[in-house]
Structure 1
């Protein structure tokens, strides 16, 4: 978290953290963003990653909540020729399905519009993007796909009929793709709990009270004086502990896309500090 305009906090998103982490390992990066207002930030991040890590980057605007958006993203990357291999071929080694929206509402108040928007971005988007990327995946099992799920798929949080359902669907697709794409890549999901992002900061006090008990019993969410910020320490009695830092989520993605993770596929991997312990 940094400081944005007019003294307001600027939260680093999970996608930015993942891009930064993978670039630090030498991966060329495609930065997908939705709205034109995000273009300056995406371009600034691209230049920063190129300068710091000597990698190639390509910001691409595409709305993954539309039917056309996922394919347009892949075609834009391919046609730009910026990330072609030395022999002129085009290959996608790593795909991270990170785009997501959360619209919490109690059952009587859930609308069709909320359902449609959530499933378009959180379920149809990853499906169509993976479908568009499939022809360009490696053919030697070296590819990696990581889907960003959530503990909400399993916890039954109040107000998350729709959001939790989208993430459960994504986990189901993860297992199917792990089988269908087994000769091309591994496919895994991770399931963050609360993460220090703008989305988490926007949660209502009621929702934060609902998940406080979960946080209190998560072994790695206890605050650490002298390590965690004073703001998180002061907030702990209210929230139950600290959320994850985006770098901690990015580190688990990096672990799953490395060569040493070649024997792991079809899994939902813990990225929540022990908030959820299943299977």
Structure 2
């Protein structure tokens, strides 16, 4: 339409399929595709024309509803019927990308409004929206309503006309969304309209992977905690053994040629207790060799512990 802003594209996956007859009714399966709303209305019109001779719009209708960021657009160009843009357009999400409304790999998702889903259903079933509105109730809440055509009950039936009322909401937009949900629920229960979420299977598979990953994460964390406790126990046992060797050197300090420091305080750390060889070099007598070997063991163990951050 001249002078009107081109609506944003809506990214789907796959390719559309034309209408297919199923018994006396009509079945419409639309797989995900790269939808441009300028072309969507024409496509719906072509499909509606192809099914004009069917004599009925009952049967099974599959309408795809995905989850993605939706930019502001004109609903009437989607189906050629008057919709709810006078009350509220669909607002572009905050910090949304300017061009593509769906970014693969992005960690955010905005559900498609019920207005868009209802718009597609009405277009596919060639139904008309006769009116809509919102009423402020005495409690201050808002209740929305829609008056739309309903599909014929049989092959040779005639269309009905019904008013649907939504629940109480705090804003006009939410009230109209609730009314749209009431229409969709009615069409789903009584007229076999199926709203098919293309992302449902992928989301469930991703949730399954996420649960499995969380279970593995818990298992690995448990194993790491157990390993950490085991290392701490080994470190305590090692410090205790090294402290006992130093205590032996101090205990036999009157026989062994060693000098001990820091062993008088029972609360001293093992690293702070020092034992040094004070005999002749090289050692001559057996007790000197014993003292020399004990000090060498303590020195090597202390050096190894310092090199590995306090752990041998």
Same fold (TM over 0.5): no
Q: TM-score, normalised by structure 1?
A: 0.27
Give 1 or 2 for the bigger CA radius of gyration: 2
**Higher normalized contact order (CA 8 Å, seq sep 6+, divided by chain length):** 1
More helix by share: 1
